[in-house]
């Protein structure tokens, strides 16, 4: 958002409505740009584009900048922004809406793609190793239950995530 002049011809005046029509982005039009979301964001100090600035991009129709913004992918989804927003804007959910569009139009960052592929292939976000099972046993914890991989894959296919990570069974 810094250093580049945006031409009016580059703006997508319907972008905010596109986001507002999604289940995740339904509250985006409520934003009054108070900055409360950015002042409460634990990552705001390290982001080049702060949460309220991402929302401003959406509201102004800066589609290309919003969907290519690295901040949408590094959002921790801690929901501190939404918790403190005086207008009830669900900023973290708006970030999800932006990620969905970005993933469809530009692809996912490699780390997210690899993580998603692991979930698709194993049904888990983290591998359950023999060592991990031994540690669980020492702590008196039960063995980790089997994953119903078919159910997880069906869900990922219904949400089109399998297509985004090129894992759809054929």
Average pLDDT of the chain, as a whole number: 90
- 30 found inside a domain: yes
Question: For residue 44, what is the DSSP state?
Answer: T
Tally of domains in the chain: 2
Last residue of a domain, one of 83, 106, 129: 106
Its domain, for residue 139, covers: 110-164
40 and 83 housed in the same domain: yes
Asked if 66 contacts 57 with a C-beta cutoff of 8 angstroms, the reply is yes
Residue 169 lies in a domain: no
Dump pLDDT digits (tens) for 98-140.
999 999 899 889 988 888 888 888 888 888 889 989 999 999 9
- Residue 56 resides in a domain: yes
Report whether pLDDT(170) > 50. no
The pTM (predicted TM-score) of the whole model is 0.79
Task: Give 80: exposed, middle or buried? Use CB within 10 Å, 0-12, 13-18, 19+.
Answer: buried
CA nearest 96: which of 114, 78, 119, 72? 72
Determine the Cα–Cα distance for residues 21 and 100; give it in Å rounded to an integer: 13
**Average pLDDT for residues 25-54, to the nearest whole number?**
94
Count of C-beta atoms within a 10 Å radius of residue 78: 13
Does any domain span residue 3?
no
Report how far apart, in Å, the C-alpha atoms of 36 and of each of 59, 82, 96, 149 are.
17, 9, 19, 41
In a domain, 122, yes or no: yes
Q: What is the DSSP letter of 148?
A: -
- 93 and 40: one domain? yes
Residue 1 lies in a domain: no
Strand ranges, E, within the chain: none
Residue 135, domain member (yes or no): yes
131, 152: one domain: yes
């Amino acid at each position: 958002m810094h250093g580049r002049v945006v031409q009016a011809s580059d703006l997508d005046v319907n972008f905010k409505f596109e986001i507002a029509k999604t289940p995740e982005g339904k509250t985006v039009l409520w934003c009054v740009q108070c900055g409360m979301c950015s002042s409460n964001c634990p990552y705001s100090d390290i982001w080049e584009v702060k949460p309220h600035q991402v929302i401003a991009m959406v509201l102004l129709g800066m589609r290309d900048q919003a969907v290519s913004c690295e901040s949408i992918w590094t959002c921790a989804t801690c929901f501190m922004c939404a918790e403190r927003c005086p207008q009830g804007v669900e900023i973290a959910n708006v970030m999800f809406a932006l990620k969905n569009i970005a993933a469809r139009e530009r692809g996912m960052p490699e780390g997210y793609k690899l993580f998603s592929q692991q979930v698709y292939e194993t049904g888990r976000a983290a591998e359950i190793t023999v060592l991990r099972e031994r540690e669980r046993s020492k702590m008196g914890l039960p063995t980790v239950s089997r994953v119903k991989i078919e159910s997880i894959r069906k869900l990922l296919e219904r949400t089109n995530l399998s297509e985004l990570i090129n894992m759809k069974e054929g």
